Structure 1
Amino acid sequence: MSHAAPPAAPARWWVRWPSLLLHPFAVFALLTLVAAWRLDPAALPRAMAGMAVVVAIVWAFAWWRWRSGRWSTVDASRAQERPLLYAIALSLAGAYWLWIGGRASAMSTGVLSAIAMLCIAGLANRWIKLSLHMACLVFAGVVLLGLWRPLGLVLLACVPLLAWSRLRLARHTWVEVLGGSVLGALAGALLLP
């Protein structure tokens, strides 16, 4: 059983910016852009349009939950806030997989690996609130090592900065940050040649 992170004190902008710039939405949008460009350039407009819709829906839902007082933060920081977020994200990820062409898509395996990662994080949520920020960044960094190595290295070099931000914001404990990182690394490694 994990211990909850202590309540966050008001954070300065330099503590928040890594979490904002390296948010899962931004990281997955970047990964989608590079993956489509490298694997199937003709699919790039479709892949990016689908990603934009997924991000818009999840963001609008998260914003509504936070503004209505149902969530403590827009990131669903409490473990009990996350099951619904996982259900929506997984449903949309499945729809996205179909949108890009399912098994026929060059990005199919990558999307399925990301879905598996989210499923594991969702199941583990009962015991530990794994950092999705960390899981997504490490996943993208590892996957990009095989698609465009320089960018993969840049993302992986950002891992300590994001870990620091998530801890300073008191969104996660060290165990949750490390657990999310390991999950992302394992899911990403499945896609390496």
Structure 2
Amino acid sequence: MSEPPPRGASLRFARVLSIVLHPFLVFAVLALAAAWRLDPGSMLRTAVGIAIAIAIVWAFVLQRRRAGHWQTVDASRPQERPLLYLLALLVAGAYWWWMGGRASATSTGIIAAVAMLCIAGLANRWIKLSLHMASLAFAGCVLLQLAPVPGIAMLAILPLLACARLRMARHTVPEIAAGVLLGVLCGGALTLVG
């Protein structure tokens, strides 16, 4: 019988998984998949808009961390999150406008993602739900309709990401469960409306 990996190796794997399945990357993949399926002519506009949105939020995150205002780049303490939510909502609104507002084929999806962020932001007073889990669950549910195989894959790796977030001590089990529930509810609502 093989021995479990050393604690250091499991922590490194958890970090890599958390980076690969970071909400920025998950939403980028979802946005590009949605553009490809719903409006292939908007692929370049989508890629540019997503890249700019991620660059803005990431620059803010790095500034907060380097200045010592945040403990980690994940905004791990609940009091670190309100500014992150505010910026993410402003950037998402600008992205929605960039994509053409209500005329965009992905408008409803962007609004659903914004609603998910709003709910997470409001819930932050009571629970620091996992945005990693929420974004992956949301993307998985939405992709089930647009591209079923990637959608199933995203939903299937939710338990692995949950273990990674727990291993890194970024979240508790209730925070992970709340993130999955929020992502599934918002993603499911989008598929019903869309």
Give the TM interval when normalised to the shorter protein.
over 0.9
Q: Offset of 1:51 from its aligned partner?
A: 0.4
Q: Establish whether residue 21 from structure 1 lines up as the match of residue 12 from structure 2.
A: no
In structure 1, the partner of 2:158 is 159
Over aligned residue pairs, what C-alpha RMSD do you find? 1.2
In structure 2, the partner of 1:107 is 106
Query: Matched residues in 1 for 2:30 and 2:131: separation?
Result: 15
Query: Matched residues in 2 for 1:36 and 1:15: separation?
Result: 30
What aligned pairs does 1:9-158 form with structure 2 within 5 A after superposition? 12-158=11-157
Query: Matched residues in 2 for 1:94 and 1:130: separation?
Result: 22
Query: Secondary structure at the residue paired with 2:64?
Result: helix
Identity of aligned residues (%): 60
Q: Name the count of aligned residue pairs.
A: 185
Paired AA for residue 47 in structure 2: M
Paired AA for residue 67 in structure 1: R
Q: Offset of 1:85 from its aligned partner?
A: 0.2
Query: Matched residues in 2 for 1:192 and 1:111: separation?
Result: 13
1:63-90 CA-partner distances (Å, limit 9, x unpaired) = 1100110000011000000000000000
Query: Secondary structure at the residue paired with 2:86?
Result: helix
Moved over 2 A (4+): 9-12
Relative contact order, CA 8 A, sep 6+: which one is greater? 1
Which runs of 5 or more structure 2 residues have no equivalent in the other structure? 1-6
Which runs of 5 or more structure 1 residues have no equivalent in the other structure? 1-8
Q: Which has the higher helix share?
A: 2
1:12-46 CA-partner distances (Å, limit 9, x unpaired) = 31121111110001100100110000000001100
Normalised TM-score (structure 2):
0.93
Normalised TM-score (structure 1):
0.94
Paired AA for residue 182 in structure 2: L
Q: Is the 8 A contact 2:34 2:106 kept in 1?
A: yes
Query: Secondary structure at the residue paired with 2:190?
Result: coil
